[in-house]
Each structure stands twice: as C-alpha cells, then as structure tokens.
Amino acid sequence: MKDLAFLLEFLGQLAQNNNKPWMDAHRADYQQARKVFTALVTDLLARAQQLEPTLLPLSPSDVMYRINKNDRFQQSDEPYKRHMGAGLKRDGRQSPWAGFFVAIEPGGETYVGAGRWQPEPQQLARIRQEIHYNADAFHALRQDPGLLREFPKGLDMSQSLRTAPKGYDRNDPDIEWLRLKSYFVWRSFPDKEVLRPDFPERVLSAWKAAQPLVHFLNEAMQEG
C-alpha cells in the first residue's frame, strides 16, 4: 500500500507544520495525498453502496470532509485537521443521519466508526425515546457479538449527562444509556494495519457489523 504510506507520511509532516505557509509550499504533495485518499474513499463507497442502498446516490465528493478546520468541534488554533476523513451517510457527509465513518491519521490515530455523534436535541430526544420504548432491541444491538468483535469497546460512553435527561427517572434501569449524548462506536488502527492490503475489507467488515445499529438510530430519528 505504497500510496497510503505517502498519505500517512504527508499527514505526519502536516501535524508538525500545521500552518498555511507550509501548506502553500507543499500544495503539490497535498494534492497527491488527497488523490490517494479519494481513491480509498471511492473504493470504500462502492463497497458500502452494495451494503447500504441509501448511499447509492452519493459520490466521493459528497462524503469527503475538507481538511480545513471549519466545524464547532475543533478546539485547536491549527488551521488544518491532522487527518483526512469521510462520512458515508444518507444525503452526504453533513446530513443529520447516522452513518459510517473513516479517518486516516498517522501515529495509530486512524479510526473507523459508525452511528451518530452528538445529534441535535430533537434527534437525541427521539433516540432516547426509542431506547426507552424498545430497550430489549437496543440492548440486543449494542451487545451483538458481531458488533463487539469489530468494536470491542462498544458504544462510546465519553459523552454523557451527569443527571437524568428531562422526562426520565434517574432510577430508570436504562439510565446510563439514556444519558448518552452520542450513540457511536469506533475503533483505531495502527499505521501498519492501515498499510495492509486488506484494510478496505476490514473497514467494510466493521461497517457491516454496525449497520443494524445505524438503522436503529435512523429509524428512531425519523419524524412522525
């Protein structure tokens, strides 16, 4: 995977020189790195479209994120992200739906994920309501052996309310799940595994395992 090695090397250099003058001086390298990532995303999207029909209308440009920092979750003053990422979701990367994610970053920071990270309040309320009404189905999904084989840590528990959400009893048996602000699974890959020829297959295997959870979340978030 010589091309992915170039991508990792470029991103490693960017992390050490995260400023516009350096990027301007290395624009050709950036374009080459972007080309490598586009090829990876093109491959992954084609495979994912066979798995998930809602992705069929999308092109690589619909799912790839910009490298410029321009979202509310970025805390650093650095102008560029240290990774190249894509969000394969119905209606594209910026849509409000749950979906599938990949981000390439050197130093073992590459990750593959699925679900919905920090949904808007109305969406979050609908997800919590669905969990409250259909707890058995939710727990079966999050505890599915196939999901946990690909995502051993299960649902990310790092974003959670300190108290019960409005309208829920703090003694509810599912309160730890109702308090979550995100419903997302993810796993990281060391650089040497990113460079393996079967890396795309491993990404798709993870996404496939998370597909039932993604469907549960998207059905929950639908109005009506």
**Could you report the per-residue pLDDT of 136-181, keeping only the tens digit for each?**
999 999 999 999 999 999 999 999 999 999 999 999 999 999 999 9
Q: How far apart are CA 53 and CA 68, in angstroms?
A: 30
Q: Distance (Å, rounded) from C-alpha 14 to C-alpha 93?
A: 23
pTM of the full structure: 0.94
Q: Are 150 and 187 in contact (CB under 8 A)?
A: yes
Q: Are 104 and 37 in contact (CB under 8 A)?
A: yes
Residues 63 and 95: their CA atoms lie apart, in Å, by 10
Q: What is the pLDDT of residues 64-110, one digit of tens each?
A: 999 998 755 556 789 999 999 999 999 999 999 999 999 999 999 99
Our count of domains for the chain comes to 1
Residue 223 banded pLDDT, cuts 50, 70, 90: confident
Strand order through the sheet with 99-104: 84-89, 99-104, 110-116, 183-189
We report the CATH number of the domain holding residue 110 as 3.30.930
Question: Amino acid identity, residue 219?
Answer: E
pLDDT at 77: 81
**Domain ranges, residue 144:** 2-221
Does the pLDDT value for residue 132 go beyond 60? yes
- Give Cβ neighbours of residue 138 (< 8 Å, ≥ 6 apart): 130, 131, 174, 177, 216
